[in-house]
Amino acid sequence: MSNKGLNRLFNYLNKATTTLNKHSLKLIIFVMMLVLSIGLTASCQNKAKRNSAMEKRENRVTEKIFKSDEEWKEILTDEQYRILREKGTERPGTGLYDQFFIKGRYYCAGCGLELFESGSKFDAGCGWPSFSIPADKKSIDENRDISYGMVRTEVVCSRCDGHLGHVFNDGPPPTGLRYCINSASLVFKSEEDIKKEMDQSGK
């Protein structure tokens, strides 16, 4: 092949390579933009799901339940009614959950709102179930209590206003708090029972 022919072939290959490189670059940019778009879409969807789940949880916590005394008496035992609705107190050492340390969660006996987890429970030696922190701060409200000549902080269920007990500043670290709760105010579910319920509901 002559030098002229070789030059033509070289020029043709050079143009073809340049064109191919341009197409390859465009293809790479397109793929990168597509991947970025998919990633952003997935991120937005996940964020929306998390926000939706948080909103649903907040609604479950803050949505108030109101019942008449007669309605409460129909669904609560006498002891539960005395404590939850009349702000009574169990005798120390008599409650079901005082010396009870099975893994699970504790719910309000009045409305079923989750209040405490077993991981925050400790033996305070006071005769009542004690916890260092609620499962969710929004699940418990605090009121100033000056009954019996004392100044204390009462804790109630934020959804049904059921009396739970009192909170004191003599708990273990890191919170330094002791939520002293009446057993009759609580209903316990073990981790195994919770898992079974979730499996049955398909969650």
pLDDT in tens, 100-141: 999 999 999 999 999 999 999 999 999 999 999 999 999 999
Q: Please compute the mean of the pLDDT values over residues 165-182 and round it to a whole number.
A: 97
Residue 51 has pLDDT above 80, yes or no: no
69-201: CATH topology: 2.170.150
- pLDDT at position 41, please? 54
Q: Cα(128)–Cα(105) distance, rounded to whole angstroms?
A: 17
Q: Which one has a higher pLDDT value, 65 or 22? A: 65
Domain ranges of the chain: 1-63, 69-201
Query: What is each CA distance from 70 to 67, 134, 198, in whole angstroms?
Result: 8, 29, 33
pLDDT at residue number 14: 60
User: Cα 202 vs. chain centroid, distance in angstroms?
Assistant: 19
Per the model's pLDDT, the better-predicted residue between 42 and 73 turns out to be 73
- Quick one: pLDDT at residue 15? 64
Residue 103's pLDDT is 97
Active site residue 157: no
CA distance 180 to 132: 9
Report, as an integer, the average pLDDT of 132-152: 96
Residue 107 vs residues 14, 17, 130, 174: alpha-carbon distances, Å = 76, 71, 14, 23
Contact 163, 185 (CB under 8 A): yes
- What's the pLDDT score for residue 200? 83
Secondary structure percentages of the chain, helix, strand, coil, to 5 = 50, 20, 35
pLDDT at 67 (0 to 100): 96
Tell whether the model's pLDDT for residue 1 goes beyond 60.
no
How confident is the prediction for the chain on average, in pLDDT?
83
Catalytic residue among 108, 111, 160, 180: 180
Instruction: Tell which residue, 133, 168, 140, has the closest CA to residue 155.
Output: 140
